Structure 1
Amino acid sequence: ATKANLRVTLGDDWFYKDGKLQQIRDYLADAETERNSRMSEATARINWLEDAQKDGDISADEEQELTELRAYRTALRRLDLSTAPKINWPDAPA
């Protein structure tokens, strides 16, 4: 290796190259993917419950679940991902 292409790996996530410590993984992109996945799951269930609500065929438990899912989805939308990978994810409704 020459000085120009010297590269030292420091664990799985970092490497030293060109006089700089650089991160291999894009934690922000990982967090965005995770949030999108969680939001998709919540939205699919919300849509199903809203259809039942529109049809007048929703139970009291399902009404409560719908309220909790909407709050969960809002919490996901407002989540600060800039702290990735140390994100305090909201708990999904049971």
Structure 2
Amino acid sequence: MRPFTFLIATLSLFAGVIAVDIQKSVIISYPDTTPDSVVEQAKKAIIEGGGIITHEYHLIKGFAAKVGEKALDTIAAWGKEYNALIEEDQIVKGL
């Protein structure tokens, strides 16, 4: 009976390990009137959540990042007041 108990414990541990927050590539942009502190707060939340900033834009107020779902939900909530646009980064193909 002990090997069966060991197997169940091992499978439970494995399930916990693979339940990691999935990272998404996103582009987050803000209107020009948004305070810089809001953008910096969003970048800080991404880094603290285990994500990375992959590019900072200069023509628009925003950045690209790889971020987990939990941090992305937090940033979306903060950005509602400033009309933040969060979109999945993807390749655009012509017709």
TM-score (norm 1): 0.26
Higher relative contact order (CA 8 A, sep 6+): 2
Higher radius of gyration, 1 or 2: 1
TM-score (norm 2): 0.25
The answer to which structure has the higher strand fraction is: 2
